[in-house]
Structure 1
Amino acid sequence: MTSPVVQDNQPRKTKFTFDEAVDVWLRRWCGQFQHEIAAAYVINPRAVNQVLKEIAHIGSKEEAARRTGRTA
């Protein structure tokens, strides 16, 4: 017999904080794919894409570069 499906009722993230957006850049530069980053944050991949296209959290790329000593 199969086990019943249990709904978790946990609220899902809809937006990144600025620090999370910086982490998105760091993860991307380390080679993670957008869908992997989204899965790690339990967020829609569109939110990751908006950060990487610099639609959301403008300046997060520069902050991530500053933290790693990398040129944005």
Structure 2
Amino acid sequence: MVITDDDVPVVKLALRMGYWQHVIAAYFGENQGRISEIKNGKLFPGAPVADHLPPDFPPL
């Protein structure tokens, strides 16, 4: 699965909340490298942060 523009705000919120990168990656069926690239601003640097996580997101 590829992370889409719609997924990135959720990734950014989860990172801000302290989720581990591997947990976020597993939720999206992606590898940790993509999450790291979003975290470090290499991918989607201008994307906003979501207001809330999806209801099926793993608990922290």
Q: If the length of structure 2 is used for normalisation, what is the TM-score?
A: 0.73
> Structure 2: which 5+ residue stretches go unaligned?
52-60
Higher relative contact order (CA 8 A, sep 6+): 2
Residue 4 (structure 1) aligns with: none
Identity of aligned residues (%): 24
> Structure 1: which 5+ residue stretches go unaligned?
1-12
For the aligned residues, what is the CA RMSD?
1.3
Count of residues in Structure 1 that have an aligned counterpart in Structure 2: 51
Larger Rg: 1
Write the distance in 1 (CA, Å) between the matches of 2:4 and 2:29: 14
Q: If the length of structure 1 is used for normalisation, what is the TM-score?
A: 0.63
